[in-house]
């Protein structure tokens, strides 16, 4: 397959994932069908089935892409040369920007974790969910590791249970999933301003108090 053909195929796949994310976001899992996604994409059902044999497979792919997005946005390699405090702040900003810029994917990411409470799943789906939860835990470990480093050097503070501190911090960063609604004309500058405000608020509870 030529490079151009491969690129075109990848673009079609990404378009499909984006269309599916938007459908799952606006209609929910139960009300979204392969037909729904195909119509939103302006394509045939065959194009969707070419990549995904079922709606659940499509949902899982969208959910997994959401996790890919936040992993990439907070890649520690981007910030390796920064002090711990600045590194944590930069990763937090990357996380919030991902929440804002890829809102549909982030909602599916959240719903993918909640569905286990309400949906009867097959063994394969349970395994897929377990893998997803493991990735989620590995992702949060990036922040736990930095918190531990900051505590050790005295630049950060935490309560008696650092795990609770991390969860509270992550809840603040994940807030836009619940209340933010993208609008036509939104700009990167707007996203940056929102992210800056959220991160500033979240970091205030972690910074070590002056001695």
Integer Cα distance of 195 and 141 in angstroms: 21
**CATH code, 55-204:** 1.10.357.10
| CATH 1.10.357.10 residue spans of the chain | 55-204
Q: What is the 3-state secondary structure (H, E, C) of 124-143?
A: HHHHHHHHHHHHHHHHHHHH
Mean pLDDT for the chain overall: 88
Q: How far is the CA of 192 from the CAs of 12, 89, 205, in angstroms? A: 29, 13, 21
Per residue in 143-186, pLDDT tens?
Answer: 989 988 998 898 988 777 878 888 899 999 999 999 999 999 99
Per residue in 64-83, pLDDT tens?
Answer: 999 999 999 999 888 888 99
Give the global pTM.
0.87
Q: How far is the CA of 129 from the CAs of 51, 59, 72, 126, in angstroms? A: 20, 11, 20, 5
Q: What's the pLDDT band for 6 if we cut at 50, 70, 90?
A: low
Retrieve residue 80's tokens.
């390796």
pLDDT reading at 209 higher than 70: no
Q: What are the start-end ranges of the E strands in the chain?
A: none
CATH superfamily of 1-53: Homeodomain-like (1.10.10.60)
Percent of the chain with pLDDT over 90: 62
Per residue in 16-61, pLDDT tens?
Answer: 999 999 999 999 998 999 999 999 999 999 999 999 999 989 999 9
């Amino acid at each position: 397959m030529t490079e151009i053909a491969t690129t075109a195929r990848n673009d079609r796949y990404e378009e499909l994932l984006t269309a599916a994310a938007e459908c799952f976001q606006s209609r929910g899992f139960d009300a979204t069908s392969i037909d729904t996604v195909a119509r939103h994409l302006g394509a045939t059902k065959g194009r969707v089935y070419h990549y995904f044999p079922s709606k659940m497979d499509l949902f899982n792919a969208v959910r997994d892409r959401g996790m890919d997005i936040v992993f990439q946005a907070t890649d520690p390699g981007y910030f390796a040369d920064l002090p711990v405090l600045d590194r944590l702040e930069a990763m937090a900003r990357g996380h919030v920007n991902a929440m804002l810029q890829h809102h549909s994917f982030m909602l599916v990411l959240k719903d993918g974790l909640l569905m286990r409470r309400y949906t009867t799943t097959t063994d394969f789906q349970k395994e897929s969910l377990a893998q997803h939860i493991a990735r989620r835990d590995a992702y949060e470990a990036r922040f736990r590791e930095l918190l531990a480093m900051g505590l050790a050097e005295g630049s950060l503070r935490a309560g008696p249970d650092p795990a609770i501190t991390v969860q509270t911090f992550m809840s603040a960063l994940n807030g836009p999933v619940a209340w933010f609604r993208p609008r036509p004309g939104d700009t990167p500058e707007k996203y940056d301003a929102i992210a800056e405000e959220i991160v500033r608020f979240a970091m205030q509870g972690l910074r070590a108090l002056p001695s």
